[in-house]
Amino acid sequence: MKSYFILGMCFLFLVQYFVHFHWLQYMLAILAIIAFLGSITLARSVPRIFSIIMFVAGLVFTKLKGQGIDAVTQGITSNLPLLTLLVLVPLLSIPFKMGGFFDSILLYLKRYQNSPRKMFMGVTTVLFFLGPILNIGSIRIVHELLKDLRLNATFLSKAYLVGFSTTILWSPYYAAVGIVLLYLHVSIGTYMTYGFGVAVLFLLVGNVMFGIWTKKQSVKKENDQSEIITPDHQKRIKMLPFVIFSLMLVTIITESITHWSMLVLVSLLAIIFPVIWGVFSREWITLKQHLVDYREKAVPIMNNEIIMYISAGFFGASLKGTSFGHEINIFMINLSHISFLLFALFILITMVAVTFVGIHQVVVVTVLATQMDPIMLGTTKEILAMLLMLAWSTSSILSPVNPINLLVSSLVKKSSIEVGIRDNGLYLLIVCTIGITFLTFFH
* Within-domain flag for 188: yes
Q: Is the pLDDT reported for residue 56 higher than 70?
A: yes
* Among 77, 125, 412, CA closest to 241: 125
What is the residue type of 132? P
Contact criterion met (CB below 8 Å) for 85 and 188:
no
* Within-domain flag for 86: no
pLDDT in tens, 321-330: 777 777 888 8
Segment 338-343 mean pLDDT = 92
**Within 13 Å of residue 219, how many CA atoms lie on the same side as its CB?**
22
Segment 114-122 mean pLDDT = 87
More confident residue, 134 or 391: 391
**DSSP per-residue codes, 267-309:** HHHHHHHHHHHHHHH--HHHHHHHHHHIIIIISTT-HHHHHHH
**Within 13 Å of residue 126, how many CA atoms lie on the same side as its CB?**
27
Q: Is the pLDDT reported for residue 387 higher than 80?
A: yes
* Within-domain flag for 427: no
* Within-domain flag for 416: no
* Count of structural domains, the chain: 1
Q: Is the pLDDT reported for residue 163 higher than 60?
A: yes
Contact criterion met (CB below 8 Å) for 36 and 83:
no
The pLDDT score that the predictor gives to residue 269 is 92
Q: Is the pLDDT reported for residue 391 higher than 80?
A: yes
Helix ranges (H only) for 65-174 are 69-76, 80-88, 93-98, 101-110, 116-134, 137-146, 153-170
Q: Is the pLDDT reported for residue 213 higher than 60?
A: yes
Tallying the residues shown for the chain, one arrives at: 443
Burial class (CB in 10 A: 0-12, 13-18, 19+), 239: middle
- Three-class HEC string of 20-44: CCHHHHHHHHHHHHHHHHHHHCCCC
Q: What is the extent of the structural domain holding 236?
A: 92-208+219-259+276-281
Measure the CA–CA gap between 250 and 269, rounded to whole angstroms: 9
Measure the CA–CA gap between 33 and 59, rounded to whole angstroms: 13
Backbone angles phi, psi at 373, to 5 degrees: -115, 110
* Among 411, 425, 301, 305, CA closest to 356: 425
Contact criterion met (CB below 8 Å) for 385 and 191:
yes
DSSP 90: G
pLDDT in tens, 242-293: 888 888 888 889 988 998 888 899 899 999 999 999 999 889 999 999 999 9
The pLDDT score that the predictor gives to residue 221 is 44
Contact criterion met (CB below 8 Å) for 440 and 340:
yes
Burial class (CB in 10 A: 0-12, 13-18, 19+), 279: exposed
The pLDDT score that the predictor gives to residue 3 is 86
Q: Residues 218, 223, 225, 231: is their CA dihedral positive or negative?
A: positive
pLDDT band at 217 (very low <50, low <70, confident <90, very high): low
Backbone angles phi, psi at 24, to 5 degrees: -70, -30
In whole angstroms, how far apart are CA 38 and each of 24, 34, 43, 117? 21, 6, 10, 47
Which residues lie closer than 8 Å to 293 by C-beta, 6 or more apart?
none
pTM value is 0.83
* Within-domain flag for 15: no
pLDDT in tens, 393-419: 999 899 887 878 888 988 888 888 899
The pLDDT score that the predictor gives to residue 299 is 83
pLDDT band at 226 (very low <50, low <70, confident <90, very high): low
Contact criterion met (CB below 8 Å) for 277 and 299:
no
Lowest mean pLDDT among 68-82, 100-114, 176-190: 100-114
Measure the CA–CA gap between 71 and 66, rounded to whole angstroms: 10
pLDDT band at 219 (very low <50, low <70, confident <90, very high): very low
pLDDT band at 206 (very low <50, low <70, confident <90, very high): very high
Segment 226-246 mean pLDDT = 79
* Within-domain flag for 366: no
* Within-domain flag for 149: yes
Burial class (CB in 10 A: 0-12, 13-18, 19+), 220: exposed
The pLDDT score that the predictor gives to residue 223 is 47
The pLDDT score that the predictor gives to residue 291 is 92
Q: Is the pLDDT reported for residue 340 higher than 70?
A: yes
Q: Is the pLDDT reported for residue 147 higher than 80?
A: no
The pLDDT score that the predictor gives to residue 216 is 67
Contact criterion met (CB below 8 Å) for 442 and 197:
no
Q: Is the pLDDT reported for residue 222 higher than 70?
A: no
* Within-domain flag for 345: no
The pLDDT score that the predictor gives to residue 301 is 79
In whole angstroms, how far apart are CA 104 and each of 99, 107, 240, 283? 10, 5, 10, 19
Question: Average pLDDT, whole number, for the chain?
Answer: 86
